[in-house]
A and B are shown apart, each in its own frame.
Chain A
Amino acid sequence: MDLIIERLPEINQAMLETFAMIAVAIPLAVLLGTPLGIWLFVHAPDGLAPRPRSHALVSGVVNMIRSFPFLILLIAIIPFTRFVVGTSVGTAAVIVPLTINAIPYFARLVEQNITQLGSGAVEASRAMGATRGQIIRNVLLVDAKPGLIGSITITTVSFISYSAMSGLVGGGGIGDLAIRYGYYRYETPTMIAAIVLMVLLVTLVQFTGTRLARASDRRITA
Chain B
Amino acid sequence: MISLSHVSTTFAARGREPLTAIDDVTLEVSRGKIQGIIGFSGAGKSTLLRNINLLERPSSGRVSVGGTELTSLSGADLRRARHQIGMIFQGFNLVNNLSVAQNVELSLKFAGVRDRGERLRRVAEALEIVDITDKASVYPAQLSGGQKQRVAIARALATKPEVLLCDEPTSALDPFTTATVLQYLADVNREFGITVVIVTHEMEVIKALADDVAVMEDGRVVEEFPASELRREGFDPRTSIGKYLLSDGIQLDRNGPDADLPGSGDHGPGHHDQQISQQAPTPRAQPAALAGSTGGVR
Contacts and interface: CB of A to CB of B under 8 A. Distances in A.
A127 B53 contact: yes
B111 A128 contact: yes
A103 B87 CA distance: 38
- Among A121, A127, A221, the one with the most B-chain Cβ atoms within 10 Å of its Cβ is A127
Given A128-B82, A134-B110, A220-B141, A143 B91 contact: no
B141 A218 contact: yes
Interface in B51-80: 53, 55, 78-80
A130 interface: yes
Interface string B139-152: 10110000000001
A138 B87 contact: no
- Among B53, B86, B110, B141, the one with the most A-chain Cβ atoms within 10 Å of its Cβ is B110
B89 A219 contact: no
Contacts of A221: 141-142
A121 B82 contact: no
A77 interface: no
Interface string B209-229: 000000000000000000000
Contacts of B188: none
B93 A124 contact: yes
A214 B80 CA distance: 37
Contact of A129 (B80, B89, B99, B141): B80
Nearest to A217: B97
B250 interface: no
A139 interface: yes
A13 interface: no
B141 A142 contact: no
A131 interface: yes
Interface in B65-118: 78-83, 85-87, 89, 91-99, 106-107, 109-111
Contacts of B110: 125, 128-131, 134, 138
Interface residues of A, number: 25
Contacts of A219: 96-97, 139, 141
Contact of A121 (B79, B85, B93, B139): B93
B139 A123 contact: no
A9 interface: no
B97 A120 contact: no
Nearest to B111: A129
Nearest to B90: A120
Given A123-B89, A131-B79, A218 B139 contact: yes
Interface in A122-160: 123-131, 134, 138-139, 142-143, 145-146
Nearest to A219: B96
B96 A218 contact: yes
Nearest to A144: B97
A129 B54 CA distance: 11
Contacts of B86: 127
A123 B91 CA distance: 11
B89 A120 contact: yes
B220 to A, nearest CB: 24
Interface of B: 53, 55, 78-83, 85-87, 89, 91-99, 106-107, 109-111, 139, 141-142, 152, 155, 159, 165
Given A124-B155, A128-B107, 5 more contacts: A123-B93, A127-B53, A142-B97, A143-B95, A222-B142
Interface of A: 120-121, 123-131, 134, 138-139, 142-143, 145-146, 216-222
25 contacts: A120-B89, A123-B89, A124-B93, A124-B94, A124-B152, A125-B110, A127-B55, A128-B82, A128-B111, A129-B81, A129-B110, A129-B111, A131-B110, A134-B110, A138-B95, A139-B95, A142-B98, A143-B96, A145-B97, A217-B97, A218-B96, A218-B139, A218-B141, A220-B141, A222-B142
